[in-house]
């Protein structure tokens, strides 16, 4: 198993990987509030605006699995630094963009850089901290940062858009990225030598990445062009064909990108499925909440951003407590039954929203409940996904849980967007206005996803978790000790 020199500064490593994760998740949400200003400034068509968001999520979700495996093969420090350079350079290009085409291309490059950063950061954390209480505490902090980054992104987007302008939502990444590159180069241990010959499953990587990219693209295209349109159905058909090709390639590869033994890890697979449903539901919750406040309730960008403090503060506090104490006292299974129930309650609260809604009585309780859901769910999912995984496969496991989160977010947003479109009215000037009933129906979708996540956690996680081991295996259901871990 990969060993970490005990003289390394673990506190600095934790700070660096958390900051990298913060940048990745922040940029998923930071453009949302700024979209109207960007559209006006760059004279963009309404149909092109969504691609500012989609381009980032498309490349991030499509290349995460490849990014995690590259870290295993080439070195996690090297891949993290490469991703940081790409991400920071793309942020500069996005901030300087003078046209929609340049901005969208820059967002795609940002997403690719983020796809290298995210699994590398998580896997560096996993191999630095010993499995058990030490890793759980670290993942609690890591989960707190990741779980609150989206809400902080919305807050920052509102303040910067109303302040120095939307370009600063990208410029702010540059000094942070440069500082992170220098600190990572200085403090992260150099990648160890890899024994034997490195085998690269290039064909497997190409087919799975192509399948994921086309699937995400199909989800977003389906919202605009209809789920039964020829273009949407064709995209899903090609994505499915590539996935079948990937399965065939992996079954015959001498060094597969995704060993099928990974799918025998009941805990990891359950954590990934829960990530798809619950974290995907949370992403769509932010999406709907931001639209609701600006489109229906008339909030300004700044007021919209500040409203999300009621979610980010409890999420950050509780996620740290979850990793440090609750996982050891309560156990992953129970926490991942509780967290989705808080999300379901939050979304259910907003199904009663009305046009004259008051923030403190109609929004604040739901936002706080969502923060509790994040604080409980985010670190618990990551702890479950990495339980008992060998060091040489940590990057793969990290890429899988990050991928399911992004695919879940893309899928959930596509579904709720379809609900909103179905409940919109055409008005003068070719514009569409979403009816309030559309928001209510969309929040019901999140309720269903959250309850499904709670159910899967209840039946998928064992009542007793595996003991922490120095040499973990993908299939870890055999060595069990009494919960909690």
Residue 93, CB half-sphere, CA atoms under 13 Å: how many?
A: 17
pTM for the structure as a whole: 0.78
Look at residue 422 in the predicted model and tell me its pLDDT.
76
- Kindly report the CA angle at 72 between 105 and 121, in degrees rounded to 5? 60
Task: Give dist(CA 85, CA 69) in Å, integer.
Answer: 19
Please name the residue that has the structure tokens 């870890």. Answer: 476
186-235 confidence digits (pLDDT tens): 888 887 655 445 556 678 778 887 888 888 788 777 777 778 889 889 99
The whole-number pLDDT of residue 86 equals 96
Distances from the Cα of 477 to the Cαs of 136, 280, 466, 468, in angstroms? 19, 27, 7, 12
- Distances from the Cα of 406 to the Cα of 28, 107, 270, 322, 335, angstroms: 10, 16, 16, 23, 21
Radius of gyration, CA atoms only, the chain? 21
Q: Which residues of 91-119 are buried (b: 16+ CB within 10 A; e: fewer)?
A: bebbbebeebeebbbbbbbbbbbbbbbbb
Digits of tens for pLDDT over the chain (485 positions)? 444 444 568 889 999 999 998 898 888 778 877 877 888 888 877 557 767 877 887 788 778 878 887 887 888 899 999 999 999 999 999 999 999 899 999 999 999 999 999 889 988 988 888 777 788 788 778 877 876 777 777 778 778 888 888 899 999 999 999 999 999 988 888 876 554 455 566 787 788 878 888 887 887 777 777 788 898 899 999 999 999 998 888 888 777 777 776 667 788 888 889 999 998 899 889 888 888 888 788 888 788 878 888 988 888 888 778 766 777 788 888 888 999 999 999 999 999 988 888 999 999 999 999 999 988 988 888 888 877 666 666 777 777 888 888 888 878 887 888 888 777 665 445 455 677 888 899 999 999 999 999 999 998 887 665 544 433 344 444 333 333 44
Output phi, psi for 40, to 5 deg. Answer: -70, -45
Is residue 140 within 8 Å of residue 67, measured between CB atoms?
no
Check if the beta carbon of residue 438 is closer than 8 Å to that of residue 424.
Answer: yes
Among 273, 260, 230, residue whose Cα is nearest residue 411:
273
- What Å distances lie between residue 401 and 65, 94, 163, 269, CA to CA? 9, 28, 36, 9
70 close to 394: Cβ distance less than 8 angstroms: no
Tokens for 106, please give them: 């820059």
For residue 229, CA distances in Å to 111, 217, 233, 424 come to: 27, 14, 6, 20
CA-based nearest residue to 80, from 154, 191, 218, 224: 191
pLDDT at 471: 38
Contacts (Cβ under 8 Å, ≥6 apart) of 161: 33, 34, 37, 169, 301, 302
Which residue in the block uniquely carries the two structure tokens 């129906």? 441
Q: Cα(119)–Cα(382) distance, rounded to whole angstroms?
A: 11
**Close Cβ partners of 66 (under 8 Å, ≥ 6 residues apart):** 115, 205, 208, 209, 257, 399
CA distance 320 to 324: 6
């Amino acid at each position: 198993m990969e060993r970490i020199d005990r003289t390394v500064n673990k506190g600095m490593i934790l700070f660096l990987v958390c900051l990298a994760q913060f940048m990745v998740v922040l940029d998923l949400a930071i453009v949302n509030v700024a979209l109207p200003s960007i559209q006006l400034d760059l004279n963009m068509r309404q149909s092109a605006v969504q691609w500012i968001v989609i381009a980032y999520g498309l490349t991030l979700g499509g290349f995460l699995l490849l990014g995690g495996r590259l870290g295993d093969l080439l070195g996690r420090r090297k891949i993290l630094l490469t991703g940081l350079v790409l991400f920071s350079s793309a942020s500069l290009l996005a901030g300087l963009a003078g046209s929609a085409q340049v901005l969208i291309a820059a967002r795609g490059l940002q997403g690719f850089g983020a796809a290298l950063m995210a699994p590398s950061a998580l896997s560096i954390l996993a191999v630095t901290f010993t499995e058990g209480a030490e890793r759980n505490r670290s993942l609690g902090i890591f989960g707190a940062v990741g779980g609150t980054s989206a809400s902080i992104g919305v807050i920052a987007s509102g303040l910067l858009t109303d302040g120095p302008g939307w370009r600063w939502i990208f410029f702010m990444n540059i000094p942070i990225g440069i500082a992170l590159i220098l600190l990572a180069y200085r403090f992260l241990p150099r990648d160890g030598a890899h024994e034997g010959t490195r085998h690269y499953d290039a064909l497997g990587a190409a087919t799975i990445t192509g399948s994921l990219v086309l699937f995400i693209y199909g989800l977003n295209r389906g919202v605009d062009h209809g789920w039964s349109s020829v273009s949407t159905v064709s995209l899903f058909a090609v994505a499915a064909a590539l996935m079948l090709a990937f399965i065939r390639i992996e079954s015959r590869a001498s060094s597969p990108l995704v060993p099928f033994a990974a799918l025998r890890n009941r805990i990891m697979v359950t954590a990934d499925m829960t990530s798809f449903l619950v974290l995907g539901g949370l992403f769509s919750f932010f999406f709907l909440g931001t639209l609701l406040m600006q489109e229906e309730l008339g909030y300004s960008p700044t007021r919209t951003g500040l409203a999300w403090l009621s979610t980010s503060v409890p999420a950050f506090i509780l996620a740290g407590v979850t990793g440090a104490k609750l996982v050891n006292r309560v156990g992953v299974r129970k926490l991942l039954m509780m967290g989705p129930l808080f999300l379901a309650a939050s979304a259910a609260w907003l199904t009663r929203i009305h046009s004259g809604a008051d923030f403190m009585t109609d929004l604040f309780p739901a936002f706080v409940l969502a923060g509790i859901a994040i604080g409980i769910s985010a670190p618990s999912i990551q702890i479950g996904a990495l339980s008992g995984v060998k060091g040489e496969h940590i990057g793969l496991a990290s890429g899988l849980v990050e991928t399911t989160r992004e695919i879940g977010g893309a899928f959930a947003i596509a579904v709720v967007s379809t609900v909103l479109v179905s409940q919109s009215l055409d008005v003068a000037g070719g514009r569409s206005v979403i009816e309030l009933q559309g928001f209510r129906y969309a929040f019901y979708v999140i309720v269903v996803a959250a309850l499904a996540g709670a159910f899967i956690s209840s039946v998928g996680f064992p009542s007793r978790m595996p003991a922490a081991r120095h040499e973990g295996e993908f299939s870890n259901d055999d060595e069990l000790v009494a919960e909690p871990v």
